[in-house]
Structure 1
Amino acid sequence: MSIKLINIGFGNIVSANRIIAIVSPESAPIKRMIQDARDSGILIDATYGRRTRAVIITDSNHIILSAVQPETVAQRLNNKSSDKVED
């Protein structure tokens, strides 16, 4: 089994196998999801104080905020040259 890792900006890396969705933070339902995750303690803010451009939803119900565009994260997810770790 191989683990594919995706760079989400500023040296932060997420396991691609755990990603369910990559969405834009503009809509009201996504903003509510972010606030609920913050209140529940399952929000991971990887923006380093920058503007949130992508919201990554994982299968463990964690919400990850990234300063990288959703299209860029998706492109890195599909890129074959991403780092792979053999288990």
Structure 2
Amino acid sequence: MQESLEAEMDEALGYGKYDSIEKTSANSRNGHSKKTIKTELGPIRINVPRDRNGDFEPKIVPKHQRTVDGIDDKILALYATGMQLEIYLNK
């Protein structure tokens, strides 16, 4: 889930975490906020990425939401709409 949130941030900003050369907007990353969400599998602690302008609106775990049902369905829906979810295995 953490990798999905990071990929959402990449999509929102238009460049990857370490690709500041390709940066085209004035907005940038600004750390993370800790959040505990309740899922079918039990509570999960995640770090939600933030941006400087406060424009980032996560789709997997929306702001102010603490309960997430059907997380698998949400991830599949993001794939279906064309969002490229990157898993950072080599970083």
Please say whether Structure 1 and Structure 2 have the same fold, judged by a TM-score greater than 0.5: no
Give the number of the structure whose alpha-carbon radius of gyration is greater.
Answer: 2
The TM-score, its normalising length taken from structure 1, stands at 0.24
Flag the structure with higher strand content.
1
